[in-house]
Amino acid sequence: MSGDHFPILIIGAGPAGLSAAIQLSRQGQEALVLERDRVGGLLWNANLVENYPGFPEGISGPDLVRLMQRQADRLQVEVAIEEVVRTSYLDGLFSIETDKRELTSSYLVAATGTSPRKIDLPVTGLELDGRLFYEVYPLLGRKDLRILIIGAGDAAFDYALNLAGKNQVTILNKGREIKALPLLVERAAEHPGITYCPGQPVASIDVTERGSLEILAGENGQLHSYQADYLLAAVGREPDVGFADPSIINNSSGLLEENRLFMIGDLVNGSHRQTAIAVGDGIRTAMFIGNLIQKEER
């Protein structure tokens, strides 16, 4: 594959990828960040980040993104808004095809994060298109809506707190176990705009001609009716490895051992998906790559 060559390519401009790029820039290393959407990753969903050092009162995810973007701009980090279509590896070189061009690289840093786990819903009537979301940020800034959230983890309760200031939010838990931080659950319980309903697996969803949603949910034959304008599913996330073709997937352990491929942040951190951890991953990886390049140049 012909095309522009960059010594280091980073896929993903969330906290991990952006931190790696910032550190590489400080070290005088040339790197390009490829991002299909916008800088910030899942921070756009975060209502309040409270465990990131330096912000005693916490900071909203979008505000933290804006600060990171300013820092990256000051250090002249190059972020290209391009979607990676295919990535392969052959003879010591990565070949990357985006929706705009073809690139090559000696080192590849995968900071692609996670993608939401999709769910099958029993929909009747009209299509659900445009009424179901898996991320909260498309609904931010909207008001006077009835929003129904399916899930019972941190994301479900954080999304509810993010939206409830100007909307009425209902959380449906198909079971009775809550997997969210007690702090988030307490805040949701105290918020007048949030209703939590356990033991409510969705039985049917009817999309009316007006575009509103009528949901039946419950267990043991006892169904309850809920009305909503939008559904927000927060039922888990999975590592996003869509960037890699078999030449990388099948040889990932070898590429990792050879220090050619680096997988960082939420992509590999399982249940430890935290902004501070992702940032640390990015900085450590950048420093490691910088040392490798220095050794090669001697």
What letter does residue 45 receive in the DSSP assignment?
Answer: G
Query: Domain-by-domain residue ranges, the chain?
Result: 4-116+237-297, 123-233
Query: For the segment 147-197, what is each residue's pLDDT rounded down to a tens digit?
Result: 999 999 999 999 999 999 999 999 999 999 999 999 999 999 999 999 999
Is 2's pLDDT higher than 70? no
When mean pLDDT is compared across 132-136, 143-147, 206-210, the lowest value belongs to 206-210
Token code pair at residue 80: 């290209």
Q: Mean pLDDT, to the nearest integer, of 110-123?
A: 93
Is 250's pLDDT higher than 60? yes
Is 1's pLDDT higher than 60? no
SS3 at position 169: strand
**How many Cβ atoms from other residues are within 10 Å of residue 36's Cβ?**
17
Query: For the segment 85-116, what is each residue's pLDDT rounded down to a tens digit?
Result: 999 998 889 999 999 999 999 999 999 999 99
The fraction of the chain above a pLDDT of 90, given in percent, is 85
The pLDDT confidence band at residue 287, using thresholds 50, 70 and 90, is very high
The pLDDT confidence band at residue 296, using thresholds 50, 70 and 90, is confident
Q: Mean pLDDT, to the nearest integer, of 66-84?
A: 97
- CATH number among 3.40.50.720, 3.60.21.10, 3.40.50.1100, 3.50.50.60, domain 4-116+237-297: 3.50.50.60
Placement of tokens 């701009």 in the chain: 73
- pLDDT, the chain, mean: 94
28 burial class (0-12, 13-18, 19+ CB within 10 angstroms)?
A: exposed
Given CATH 3.60.70.12, say whether it is the number of domain 123-233: no
Residue 126: predicted pLDDT: 61
When mean pLDDT is compared across 13-17, 65-69, 115-119, the lowest value belongs to 115-119
Query: For the segment 11-51, what is each residue's pLDDT rounded down to a tens digit?
Result: 999 999 999 999 999 999 989 999 999 999 999 999 999 99
User: Is the CB of residue 29 less than 8 Å from the CB of residue 293?
Assistant: yes
CA atoms 79, 270, 276, 188: torsion sign? positive
Q: Mean pLDDT, to the nearest integer, of 59-76?
A: 97
Residue 216: predicted pLDDT: 96
